Amino acid sequence: MAAPVNPVDIQPRQVANKSKKKALIDALRMTLDVQSPAVRRNTQTFNRNRYTAVARIADYDAMKDRARRTKENAIANLPALLQQLEASVLANGGHFFLAKTAADANNYIRDVLVRHEVKLVVKGKSITSEETRLNHALEAVGITVAESDLAEFILQVADEQPSHIIAPALHYSRERITALFKRKFQTDLPLDTGEELTRFAREILRQQFIGADAGISGANLIAADSGTLMLVESEGNIRMTTTLPPVHIAIAGIEKVVPSRSDFRSFIELLPASATGQPLTSYVSILRPPLPAPPFAAPGKTVKPREFHMVLIDNGRSTMREDPVLHEALYCIRCSACLNVCANFETVGGHAFGGETYSGGIGGAWEAGTGKLMNARFSELCTGCSRCIPQCPIRIDIPWLNQNLRQRMNQADGASVQKSLFGSLTGSAPQDRVAPLQKQFFANYHKFGKWGTDFASLANSSSHAPGVRKLMEDVLGVDHRRELPAFPAKTWEQLFREEPAASKAAAIEPGIVMLADTFTNYGTPERGMASVRALRAIGVDVVLTPSIPDGRAAMSQGMIDTARQQARAMAAMLRPYLDSGRKIVVVEPSVLAMLRFDNKHLLDDEATVAELAANSVEPLQALWDIATEAHIDLAELFPASKSRFGTRLFYHAHCQQRTCNAASQTIDLLRAVGFDVVTSSVECCGMAGSFGYKHDYYELSMAVGADLFEQVRAAEDDTGPRVLVASGISCHEQLMAGMGRTVLHPAEVLVSTLKM
């Protein structure tokens, strides 16, 4: 066997295309080893700044709705808008070219530049031109291309692909840029600070701006009514690119077109706030080219009237537009909020969580849409944690796009007898029996849970038997370093049957129904029972559903047909409880998220979807709501001072719990009864359901978790030991793995204060 390549020797370009799984694995090793600190620092800064910036937009939610409507209508009417735009550009005195393919766009631009005998062209940042590999096409005919955005300048020097859609060199630390420039430019100039590096690049580029025969920009938005471009930047290079050289070419995807300049009002604040977290970036240009002739010519040239070309590229976008799922990606305004809020992305960046051009959660749909389906393989790094959904200014459900890509890739991988047999034994829907064994295993976790708890002692001992973990790793890809959750001797359903309700009659009607989600039922029934006891303690009548799968596990594996079957069965099972007026209390937050927002993709009946969403609730929220309505003093009932765990807690809310807005209530309640609660601020623990168990992703999962573990240690260094509390079963497993300590559910903490 060949010796494994040292991660520092892996070149980003070599692993840009991840249609082969090995490239993804190598890219993960390379980014974790080399790029992670810079990526983490930069994305987490963007992420924090975004939360602050959007909070300052008074009508943020209404603005998102307007922006979404504008994009929906624009994409729906795209052919007519493109015709209108062409007429506008021509009326302005510009030229218009609609390129069917990347090559068509490159050829057109090359021909324009050759006709003008252009030797040097300056470029503003354009990820679209990265998609078409424009620089290579121009350099092939002897044209010098000067990337003027400092990040693109770095990438050009390093010969790397972008790692982020708005900050394409964000994987470079200052120290690595210094080393790169010293090596490539062989200079003795001091390059040891950001200022020195910036000055060095600026001096080179200033001469190129003055001497350039043409400038190429992108566009953030284009108005069809007038041919107006909106260009967002901070460095001033786009202003120079668009206003200094005599020829200006703007290249953009057809999805950038909106009806009118007045539509910019829905985006001009939303885009910078969602992107870098600035109220506005330094420069937002609103241009209807061609602009008047430049005031001077490059040395040795005469001043010529300005010439403008708008080059819009299709390159698969029209096909995306027809796609029932992927058309949502065309609404993307490339703000990068979904990248910066994503725990996996924050840890590795776009050279692992990205393809040849596009990166992050939204990048999979773009790589598949403008290239080949398998180029989206890196979208496996989307765990479906859902944190991007509320952050997307256009409300794109990005995990859903990735789950669909996963389904298509499962199908493209093809069927086998083994997969088919495994699928029929474990309960996969017929369409989904093409999925890899690992995916079918995790999707049908409830089956194994049932077998495991039926024969708990046998199952638990056999998972420790020699060779079993190796076999699981080889066949199912379950990492041997992960402690497998022990199967409990009794399921939640069994424990519930054995524990009669308190003698005093339940006073509060109509009571609630607890959903015996399969994760709690077969994995951590004690968390479920604690929730039951807490609710019974305030006098609520509690019933428990049978434990059936909800679709979450299957959905996250891209086994959408299986998820759909399960979601339908779940809705039918819950129907009588809804009709009896009981709220559905859900312990596991990932299942709560199914009922709150994921079901809309799986169930046809919109009324049922809305009813389930409106009536599903997290246990502590239910406790708070019912107690408030019934004027019950929770602090009297659950006095923190009586807890056998002490009063000092470290609480980590589950990713989907926060997306459901069901985290703050838990924290408020714990504090209200007297607990001293320090909370985590990480977006996700890194376990994310099955993700952290997968052999290929174990290191990434633990690297993501490191931020959480660090926050625990920092809190304890400041104020002494704390009891670890988490609402999600994955967070529970991850915290146990990282800290080596017991982790409790908030309801367990509450019931620890009760006299038993």
In the complex, the residues that contact another protein under the rule CB under 8 A are 42, 56, 148-151, 153-154, 167, 169-170, 172-175, 177, 193-195, 197-198, 201-202, 205-206, 209-210, 234-237, 239-240, 243, 261-266, 268-269, 276, 278-288, 291-292, 295-297
Q: Which is nearer to another protein, 29 or 248 (CB)?
A: 248
- The answer for residues whose C-beta is within 8 angstroms of residue 12's C-beta and 6 or more apart is 27, 30, 160, 161, 163, 351
Cα distance between residue 702 and residue 708, in whole Å: 10
Cα distance between residue 22 and residue 569, in whole Å: 38
**Chain-centre distance for alpha carbon 5:** 29
Per-residue DSSP letters for 32-69?
IIIIHHHHHHHHHHHHHHHHHHHHT-TTHHHHHHHHHH
Least Å distance between CB 683 and another protein? 21
Per-residue DSSP letters for 250-318?
EEEEGGGEES-GGGGGGTTTHHHHHHTS-SS-SEEEEE-SSPSPPSS--TT------EEEEEEE-TTHH
Cα distance between residue 473 and residue 693, in whole Å: 10
Nearest C-alpha neighbor of 252 from the set 96, 44, 41, 473: 96
Cβ atoms of 398 and 389 within 8 Å: the answer is yes
- The answer for residues whose C-beta is within 8 angstroms of residue 50's C-beta and 6 or more apart is 273, 274, 275, 276, 277, 337, 340, 341, 391
Cα distance between residue 483 and residue 488, in whole Å: 14
Q: Which is nearer to another protein, 297 or 456 (CB)?
A: 297
506-511: Cβ within 8 A, 24+ apart? 506/536, 506/539, 506/540, 506/541, 506/542, 507/539, 507/630, 508/538, 508/539, 508/540, 508/541, 508/626, 508/630, 509/541, 510/541, 510/580, 510/581, 510/582, 511/540, 511/541, 511/542, 511/543, 511/582
Least Å distance between CB 525 and another protein? 49
Cβ atoms of 723 and 649 within 8 Å: the answer is yes
Q: Which is nearer to another protein, 269 or 683 (CB)?
A: 269
Q: Which is nearer to another protein, 42 or 375 (CB)?
A: 42
Question: How many residues does this entry show for the chain?
Answer: 756
Cα distance between residue 464 and residue 190, in whole Å: 58
Q: Which is nearer to another protein, 302 or 503 (CB)?
A: 302
Q: Is the backbone peptide bond immediately before 510 cis, with ω within 30 degrees of 0? A: yes
Q: Which is nearer to another protein, 40 or 654 (CB)?
A: 40
Cβ atoms of 566 and 550 within 8 Å: the answer is yes
Q: Which is nearer to another protein, 76 or 291 (CB)?
A: 291
Least Å distance between CB 619 and another protein? 41
Sign of torsion over alpha carbons 612, 618, 623, 627: negative
Least Å distance between CB 420 and another protein? 51
Cα distance between residue 178 and residue 544, in whole Å: 62
Cα distance between residue 756 and residue 751, in whole Å: 9
Q: Which is nearer to another protein, 276 or 647 (CB)?
A: 276
The one-letter amino acid code at 343 reads A
Least Å distance between CB 471 and another protein? 47
Least Å distance between CB 71 and another protein? 16
Q: Which is nearer to another protein, 264 or 709 (CB)?
A: 264
Cα distance between residue 312 and residue 96, in whole Å: 8
CA distances from 343 to 40, 239, 384, 664 (A): 9, 34, 11, 20
Cα distance between residue 422 and residue 161, in whole Å: 40
Least Å distance between CB 193 and another protein? 8
Least Å distance between CB 299 and another protein? 9
Q: Where on the phi/psi map is residue 738: left (φ > 0), alpha (ψ -120 to 50), or beta?
A: alpha
Q: Which is nearer to another protein, 262 or 661 (CB)?
A: 262
Query: Which residues share a beta bridge with 99?
Result: 313
Q: Which is nearer to another protein, 182 or 600 (CB)?
A: 182
Q: Which is nearer to another protein, 282 or 424 (CB)?
A: 282
Backbone angles phi, psi at 222, to 5 degrees: -135, 130
Q: Which is nearer to another protein, 306 or 327 (CB)?
A: 306
Least Å distance between CB 199 and another protein? 9
Q: Which is nearer to another protein, 84 or 440 (CB)?
A: 84
Least Å distance between CB 148 and another protein? 7
Q: State both tokens at 84.
A: 């209108």
Cα distance between residue 362 and residue 375, in whole Å: 13
Q: Which is nearer to another protein, 271 or 534 (CB)?
A: 271
Least Å distance between CB 384 and another protein? 30
Least Å distance between CB 590 and another protein? 35
Least Å distance between CB 593 and another protein? 33
Least Å distance between CB 204 and another protein? 11
Least Å distance between CB 95 and another protein? 18
